[in-house]
Amino acid sequence: MERLDKVLANLGVGSRKEVKAMVKKGLVMVDGTAARDSGMQVDPEKAVLEVDGKVLSYRKYIYLMMNKPDGVVSATFDNYDETVIDLLDEEHRVFEPFPVGRLDKDTVGLLIITNDGEMNHRLISPKWHVDKVYYAEIDKPVTEEDVSEFREGVLLDDGYKCMSAKLEILSADEDGSRVHVTIQEGKFHQVKRMFKSVGKEVVYLKRLSFGPLSLDEELPEGEYRELREEEIELLKSV
Protein backbone atom coordinates (compact mmCIF):
# COMPACT_ATOMS: atom_id res chain seq x y z
CA MET A 1 0.00 0.00 0.00
CA GLU A 2 1.19 3.51 -0.82
CA ARG A 3 -0.01 7.08 -0.35
CA LEU A 4 -2.34 8.24 -3.09
CA ASP A 5 -0.39 11.47 -3.68
CA LYS A 6 2.88 9.56 -4.15
CA VAL A 7 1.29 7.11 -6.58
CA LEU A 8 -0.22 9.90 -8.66
CA ALA A 9 3.05 11.86 -8.59
CA ASN A 10 4.84 8.75 -9.87
CA LEU A 11 2.35 8.62 -12.70
CA GLY A 12 3.27 12.16 -13.69
CA VAL A 13 -0.06 13.68 -12.69
CA GLY A 14 1.67 16.46 -10.76
CA SER A 15 3.50 17.24 -7.56
CA ARG A 16 2.08 16.07 -4.24
CA LYS A 17 0.89 19.63 -3.62
CA GLU A 18 -0.87 19.68 -7.00
CA VAL A 19 -2.42 16.27 -6.32
CA LYS A 20 -3.75 17.53 -2.99
CA ALA A 21 -5.43 20.42 -4.81
CA MET A 22 -6.97 18.01 -7.34
CA VAL A 23 -8.35 15.86 -4.52
CA LYS A 24 -9.92 18.94 -2.88
CA LYS A 25 -11.62 19.76 -6.20
CA GLY A 26 -13.03 16.22 -6.41
CA LEU A 27 -11.06 15.39 -9.56
CA VAL A 28 -9.51 12.19 -8.21
CA MET A 29 -11.45 8.92 -8.08
CA VAL A 30 -10.33 5.68 -6.45
CA ASP A 31 -12.36 2.61 -7.42
CA GLY A 32 -15.22 4.81 -8.57
CA THR A 33 -15.39 6.91 -5.42
CA ALA A 34 -14.10 10.46 -5.02
CA ALA A 35 -10.94 10.53 -2.91
CA ARG A 36 -11.20 12.73 0.19
CA ASP A 37 -7.61 12.53 1.41
CA SER A 38 -4.48 12.76 -0.76
CA GLY A 39 -2.65 10.75 1.90
CA MET A 40 -5.03 7.77 1.79
CA GLN A 41 -3.46 4.35 1.32
CA VAL A 42 -4.09 2.60 -1.99
CA ASP A 43 -2.80 -0.52 -3.70
CA PRO A 44 -1.51 0.98 -6.96
CA GLU A 45 -1.49 -2.38 -8.73
CA LYS A 46 -5.15 -3.13 -7.95
CA ALA A 47 -6.92 0.19 -7.47
CA VAL A 48 -8.66 1.85 -10.42
CA LEU A 49 -7.40 5.43 -10.41
CA GLU A 50 -9.04 8.26 -12.34
CA VAL A 51 -8.04 11.90 -12.61
CA ASP A 52 -10.51 14.32 -14.21
CA GLY A 53 -12.30 11.39 -15.85
CA LYS A 54 -9.15 9.76 -17.25
CA VAL A 55 -8.23 6.26 -16.07
CA LEU A 56 -4.52 5.97 -15.29
CA SER A 57 -2.25 3.02 -15.94
CA TYR A 58 0.14 2.45 -13.03
CA ARG A 59 3.74 1.40 -13.40
CA LYS A 60 6.05 0.56 -10.53
CA TYR A 61 9.44 0.72 -12.26
CA ILE A 62 11.11 2.94 -14.82
CA TYR A 63 14.10 2.00 -16.98
CA LEU A 64 16.19 4.70 -18.62
CA MET A 65 19.20 4.78 -20.94
CA MET A 66 21.43 7.81 -20.61
CA ASN A 67 24.43 8.86 -22.68
CA LYS A 68 26.29 10.20 -19.67
CA PRO A 69 28.24 13.39 -20.33
CA ASP A 70 31.64 14.41 -19.00
CA GLY A 71 31.68 16.25 -15.67
CA VAL A 72 28.55 14.67 -14.17
CA VAL A 73 28.74 12.14 -11.33
CA SER A 74 26.91 8.81 -11.26
CA ALA A 75 25.07 9.30 -8.00
CA THR A 76 21.64 10.22 -6.70
CA PHE A 77 23.02 13.17 -4.71
CA ASP A 78 26.27 15.10 -4.44
CA ASN A 79 27.18 18.16 -2.38
CA TYR A 80 29.42 19.65 -5.06
CA ASP A 81 28.76 18.23 -8.52
CA GLU A 82 25.78 17.81 -10.81
CA THR A 83 24.50 14.23 -10.79
CA VAL A 84 22.93 12.09 -13.50
CA ILE A 85 19.64 12.30 -11.56
CA ASP A 86 19.76 16.10 -11.84
CA LEU A 87 19.61 15.63 -15.62
CA LEU A 88 16.24 13.85 -15.43
CA ASP A 89 12.85 15.46 -15.91
CA GLU A 90 10.63 15.67 -12.84
CA GLU A 91 8.32 12.98 -14.26
CA HIS A 92 11.19 10.52 -13.91
CA ARG A 93 12.81 11.89 -10.75
CA VAL A 94 9.63 11.23 -8.76
CA PHE A 95 10.31 7.50 -9.13
CA GLU A 96 13.50 8.00 -7.08
CA PRO A 97 15.69 6.10 -9.58
CA PHE A 98 19.41 5.41 -9.24
CA PRO A 99 22.26 4.63 -11.64
CA VAL A 100 23.10 0.95 -12.19
CA GLY A 101 26.76 0.84 -11.25
CA ARG A 102 28.90 3.89 -11.78
CA LEU A 103 30.80 5.72 -14.47
CA ASP A 104 33.63 8.01 -13.38
CA LYS A 105 32.95 11.74 -13.51
CA ASP A 106 35.00 12.14 -16.70
CA THR A 107 33.77 8.91 -18.33
CA VAL A 108 30.96 9.15 -20.88
CA GLY A 109 28.56 6.71 -22.47
CA LEU A 110 25.92 4.17 -21.57
CA LEU A 111 24.39 4.42 -18.13
CA ILE A 112 21.27 2.55 -17.08
CA ILE A 113 19.06 4.33 -14.55
CA THR A 114 16.18 2.56 -12.81
CA ASN A 115 14.36 2.10 -9.50
CA ASP A 116 14.28 -1.68 -9.94
CA GLY A 117 16.58 -2.90 -7.18
CA GLU A 118 16.48 -6.55 -8.22
CA MET A 119 17.62 -5.75 -11.75
CA ASN A 120 20.33 -3.48 -10.38
CA HIS A 121 21.70 -6.31 -8.24
CA ARG A 122 21.77 -8.80 -11.11
CA LEU A 123 23.51 -6.39 -13.46
CA ILE A 124 26.28 -5.25 -11.12
CA SER A 125 27.02 -8.50 -9.26
CA PRO A 126 30.23 -10.11 -10.64
CA LYS A 127 28.76 -13.59 -10.11
CA TRP A 128 26.36 -13.02 -13.02
CA HIS A 129 29.30 -12.28 -15.38
CA VAL A 130 27.66 -9.37 -17.18
CA ASP A 131 29.98 -7.91 -19.85
CA LYS A 132 30.59 -4.17 -19.92
CA VAL A 133 32.34 -2.94 -23.06
CA TYR A 134 34.34 0.30 -23.20
CA TYR A 135 36.07 2.26 -25.93
CA ALA A 136 39.29 3.79 -24.59
CA GLU A 137 42.05 6.02 -25.87
CA ILE A 138 45.45 5.35 -24.28
CA ASP A 139 48.51 7.61 -24.09
CA LYS A 140 51.00 4.92 -25.21
CA PRO A 141 51.11 1.95 -27.60
CA VAL A 142 49.11 -1.00 -26.27
CA THR A 143 50.85 -4.31 -26.90
CA GLU A 144 49.97 -7.99 -27.21
CA GLU A 145 51.68 -8.39 -23.84
CA ASP A 146 49.02 -6.08 -22.38
CA VAL A 147 46.32 -8.15 -24.07
CA SER A 148 47.72 -11.27 -22.41
CA GLU A 149 47.97 -9.60 -19.00
CA PHE A 150 44.36 -8.39 -19.18
CA ARG A 151 43.25 -11.91 -20.12
CA GLU A 152 45.14 -13.45 -17.20
CA GLY A 153 43.85 -10.85 -14.72
CA VAL A 154 45.53 -7.52 -13.99
CA LEU A 155 46.87 -6.91 -10.49
CA LEU A 156 45.69 -3.50 -9.28
CA ASP A 157 47.59 -1.07 -7.07
CA ASP A 158 45.78 -2.27 -3.93
CA GLY A 159 46.73 -5.91 -4.57
CA TYR A 160 43.34 -6.94 -6.00
CA LYS A 161 43.56 -9.28 -8.98
CA CYS A 162 40.91 -8.51 -11.58
CA MET A 163 38.83 -11.14 -13.29
CA SER A 164 39.88 -12.02 -16.83
CA ALA A 165 39.21 -9.13 -19.21
CA LYS A 166 39.25 -8.86 -22.98
CA LEU A 167 41.50 -6.19 -24.51
CA GLU A 168 41.15 -5.58 -28.24
CA ILE A 169 43.62 -3.25 -29.98
CA LEU A 170 41.92 -1.13 -32.64
CA SER A 171 45.04 0.86 -33.47
CA ALA A 172 48.36 1.55 -31.79
CA ASP A 173 51.34 3.77 -32.58
CA GLU A 174 53.75 6.09 -30.81
CA ASP A 175 51.04 8.72 -30.42
CA GLY A 176 48.85 6.34 -28.46
CA SER A 177 46.23 3.64 -28.89
CA ARG A 178 42.53 3.06 -29.35
CA VAL A 179 41.11 -0.08 -27.79
CA HIS A 180 38.00 -1.93 -26.70
CA VAL A 181 37.96 -3.32 -23.17
CA THR A 182 35.44 -5.85 -21.86
CA ILE A 183 35.17 -6.37 -18.11
CA GLN A 184 32.67 -8.11 -15.83
CA GLU A 185 33.38 -6.14 -12.68
CA GLY A 186 32.94 -2.54 -11.62
CA LYS A 187 35.71 -1.68 -9.20
CA PHE A 188 36.44 1.99 -8.50
CA HIS A 189 38.20 3.52 -11.55
CA GLN A 190 38.79 -0.07 -12.70
CA VAL A 191 39.66 0.40 -16.38
CA LYS A 192 41.93 3.33 -15.61
CA ARG A 193 43.66 1.40 -12.82
CA MET A 194 44.10 -1.65 -15.06
CA PHE A 195 45.98 0.40 -17.63
CA LYS A 196 47.95 2.17 -14.91
CA SER A 197 49.10 -1.27 -13.73
CA VAL A 198 50.67 -1.86 -17.14
CA GLY A 199 52.29 1.58 -17.22
CA LYS A 200 49.74 3.42 -19.36
CA GLU A 201 47.14 6.11 -18.92
CA VAL A 202 43.55 6.32 -20.14
CA VAL A 203 42.92 9.72 -21.71
CA TYR A 204 39.34 9.07 -22.88
CA LEU A 205 36.81 6.45 -21.82
CA LYS A 206 33.34 5.69 -23.10
CA ARG A 207 31.05 2.79 -22.19
CA LEU A 208 29.49 1.27 -25.28
CA SER A 209 27.41 -1.57 -23.84
CA PHE A 210 26.16 -3.11 -20.63
CA GLY A 211 25.24 -6.77 -20.97
CA PRO A 212 22.93 -7.14 -23.99
CA LEU A 213 22.17 -3.42 -24.15
CA SER A 214 24.18 -1.13 -26.45
CA LEU A 215 24.27 2.66 -26.37
CA ASP A 216 21.80 4.27 -28.74
CA GLU A 217 24.06 6.04 -31.27
CA GLU A 218 21.37 8.64 -31.88
CA LEU A 219 21.34 9.67 -28.20
CA PRO A 220 23.46 12.84 -27.69
CA GLU A 221 25.66 13.14 -24.61
CA GLY A 222 23.63 14.40 -21.68
CA GLU A 223 20.36 13.07 -23.10
CA TYR A 224 18.35 10.01 -22.09
CA ARG A 225 15.28 8.03 -23.08
CA GLU A 226 13.10 5.32 -21.65
CA LEU A 227 14.07 1.80 -22.60
CA ARG A 228 11.86 0.04 -25.09
CA GLU A 229 9.95 -3.03 -23.92
CA GLU A 230 12.24 -5.39 -25.81
CA GLU A 231 15.31 -3.73 -24.25
CA ILE A 232 13.88 -4.19 -20.78
CA GLU A 233 13.22 -7.86 -21.49
CA LEU A 234 16.82 -8.26 -22.68
CA LEU A 235 18.11 -6.91 -19.38
CA LYS A 236 15.72 -9.08 -17.39
CA SER A 237 17.02 -12.14 -19.23
CA VAL A 238 20.57 -11.59 -17.94
> Which positions are catalytic?
104
Q: Up-side HSE of residue 191: CA atoms within 13 Å toward CB?
A: 26
Q: How far apart are CA 133 and CA 98, in angstroms?
A: 21
Query: Hey, how many other C-beta atoms are within 10 angstroms of the C-beta on 222?
Result: 15
The candidate with the shortest Cα–Cα distance to 113, out of 9, 2, 11, 210, is: 210
- One-character DSSP codes across 100-156: SS---TT-EEEEEEES-HHHHHHHH-GGG---EEEEEEESS---HHHHHHHHH-PBP
Q: What's CA 66's distance to the chain center, in Å? A: 7
d(CA 6, CA 115): 15
Provide the pairing of β-strand 41-42 with 49-51: unpaired
Residue 86 contacts by C-beta under 8 Å, 6 or more apart in sequence?
Answer: 72
Q: At what angle do helices 229-236 and 117-124 cross, to 10 degrees?
A: 60
